[in-house]
């Protein structure tokens, strides 16, 4: 791959004594959508959370191997984790807006990243537009984000993530708590966002992976069973296991 954004080399992860990720190797290309799929408990979310060092928050975690984003090894000593997380944004499985107003939800990340005060209103509007939420909320920016529907909350979370201009966006099953209408809106959004961002989506919805991604990785018991072009994975999987999973024999 020419434009590789993220190199993952021999990544192993343990929670206590339990090994969750085993020798994960993957190269992720710039401005593409990569889907990570696999059965529950295969380590998809854990893998995703390695990329912005979210696993650091869990007690008893041990990580070996290398992750390089833009030629910087993110697990090296002296890595400034907040700066890394600013660059690698995240959208969570359950929409988790702050119990603040819609406006403040987006302004929060801008304020802590020291964006100058007079630029904030403009960026809030731009981010909400980019997340296809602006027309729905423009008249109630100062109402609580908790009043929004689940799908709107999730788009707000996406707006919040892109407001601070990350380069990579990690999405951890962003549609799993949404209804189909909400899901399709998010999928359209991902389609649009990949023009500017490198996106990695965890999903256990295979149709979704097929619809939205350029590349797909199939994780099973902490190992990458197969990683490649989405079309190829879904039409001509190389591994028997991948084929079985895709055809619904287990999962």
> Rounded to the nearest whole angstrom, what is the least distance from the CB of residue 226 to another protein in the complex?
29
> Rounded to the nearest whole angstrom, what is the least distance from the CB of residue 54 to another protein in the complex?
7
Q: CA-to-CA distance for 97 and 122, rounded, in angstroms?
A: 20
Q: CA-to-CA distance for 6 and 27, rounded, in angstroms?
A: 6
Task: Say if residues 43 and 21 touch (Cβ distance below 8 Å).
Answer: yes
Contacts (CB under 8 A) with another protein, residues 146-165: 146-147, 157, 160-161, 164
Going by C-alpha positions, the residue among 128, 123, 157, 154 that lies closest to residue 140 is 128
Among positions 10, 82, 229, 235, the unique one binding another protein when judged by CB under 8 A: 82
Contacts (CB under 8 A) with another protein, residues 86-125: 86, 89-90, 92, 94, 96-100, 108-109, 112-113
> Rounded to the nearest whole angstrom, what is the least distance from the CB of residue 183 to another protein in the complex?
20
Report H helices in 62-179. Answer: 81-87, 102-112, 120-130, 134-137, 150-163
Contacts (CB under 8 A) with another protein, residues 118-147: 144, 146-147
**Any contact of residue 54 with another protein (CB under 8 A)?**
yes
Among the residue ranges 49-57, 64-72, 131-139, 226-234, the one whose residues contact another protein (CB under 8 A): 49-57
**Any contact of residue 248 with another protein (CB under 8 A)?**
no
Task: Say if residues 162 and 131 touch (Cβ distance below 8 Å).
Answer: yes
Residues that bind another protein (CB under 8 A): 52, 54, 57, 82-83, 85-86, 89-90, 92, 94, 96-100, 108-109, 112-113, 144, 146-147, 157, 160-161, 164
């Amino acid at each position: 791959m020419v434009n590789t954004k993220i190199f993952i080399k021999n990544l192993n992860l343990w929670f206590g004594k339990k090994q969750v990720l085993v020798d994960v190797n993957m190269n992720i290309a710039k401005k593409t959508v990569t889907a990570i799929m696999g059965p529950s408990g295969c380590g998809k979310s854990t893998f995703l959370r390695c990329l912005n060092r979210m696993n650091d928050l869990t007690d008893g975690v041990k990580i070996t191997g290398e992750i390089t984003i833009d030629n910087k090894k993110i697990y090296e000593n002296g890595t400034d984790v907040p700066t890394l997380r600013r660059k690698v944004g995240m959208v969570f499985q359950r929409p988790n807006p702050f119990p603040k107003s819609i406006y403040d939800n987006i302004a929060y990340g801008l304020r802590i990243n020291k964006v100058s005060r007079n630029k904030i209103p403009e960026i809030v509007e731009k981010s909400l537009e980019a997340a296809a939420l602006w027309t729905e909320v423009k008249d109630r920016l100062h109402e609580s984000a908790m009043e929004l529907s689940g799908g709107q909350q999730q788009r707000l979370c996406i707006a919040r993530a892109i407001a601070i201009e990350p380069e990579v966006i990690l999405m951890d099953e962003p549609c799993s708590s949404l209804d189909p209408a909400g899901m399709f809106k998010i999928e359209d959004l991902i389609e649009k966002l990949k023009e500017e961002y490198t996106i990695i989506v965890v999903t256990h919805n295979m149709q979704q992976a097929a619809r939205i991604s350029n590349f797909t990785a199939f994780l099973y018991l902490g190992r990458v069973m197969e990683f490649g072009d989405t079309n190829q994975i879904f039409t001509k999987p190389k591994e028997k296991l991948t084929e079985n999973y895709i055809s619904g024999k287990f999962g």
